[in-house]
A and B are shown apart, each in its own frame.
Chain A
Amino acid sequence: MTAVVREALREAEAEGVALSIRGEAEGELLGRWLRQAGLEPRAEGTAEEMHPLAVRSGLLVASDRSKTALLLERPTPLAHLHPLGDLWSSWIASWTGGARLPDPLRSLAGGAGDIELLARVDGTLRAWTERRVPLDEALARLPDEVRRRLVPVLRRPLPAGRGPIVPKLTSWTLWTDPPL
Chain B
Amino acid sequence: MTRPSTERDHQGSLRLRIAQTAPRRADVEANAREMVRLLRSASAHAVDLLVFPELALTGYDLGSRAAELAIPADEDPFGLWTDGEDGPVVIYGFVERGGDHLVYNSATVAAPGRLLHTHRKLHLPTYGTFDEGRIFAPGRTGVGVFEVIPGWRASVLVCEDLWHPPLPYLAGLHGIDLLVVPAAAPGRDPPTADAPTAFASVDAWETIARATAMIHGIWLVVANRSGVEGPVTFAGSSFVVAPDGAVVHRCGTAEETSDLVLDRSAVRDARATFSHLRDAQPGRVRTELERLISRNRSQP
Contacts and interface: CB of A to CB of B under 8 A. Distances in A.
Interface residues of B, number: 15
A169 B228 contact: no
A177 B129 contact: yes
Interface stretch (B46-54, B111-119, B153-161, B186-194): B186-194
Interface stretch (B9-17, B215-223, B229-237): B229-237
A34 interface: no
A4 interface: yes
Nearest to A8: B230
B228 A177 contact: no
A120 interface: no
Q: Which of B187, B188, B231, B233 has the most CB of A within 10 A?
A: B231
Interface string A127-142: 0000000000000000
Nearest to B25: A11
Contacts of A11: 25
Nearest to A91: B190
B229 to A, nearest CB: 7
A173 B129 CA distance: 9
B190 A169 contact: yes
A7 B228 contact: yes
B128 interface: yes
Contacts of A171: 128, 188-189
Interface residues of A, number: 19
A127 to B, nearest CB: 15
A176 B128 CA distance: 8
B243 interface: no
A168 B228 CA distance: 10
Nearest to B127: A178
A87 to B, nearest CB: 9
A175 interface: yes
Contacts of A4: 228, 230-233
A71 interface: no
A168 B232 contact: yes
A176 B190 contact: no
B172 interface: no
A7 B229 contact: yes
B182 interface: no
Contact of A177 (B128, B187, B190, B230): B128
B227 interface: yes
Nearest to B131: A178
A176 B232 contact: yes
A170 interface: yes
17 contacts: A4-B231, A4-B232, A7-B229, A11-B25, A165-B230, A167-B231, A167-B233, A168-B231, A168-B233, A170-B188, A171-B189, A172-B128, A173-B231, A176-B129, A176-B230, A177-B129, A178-B128
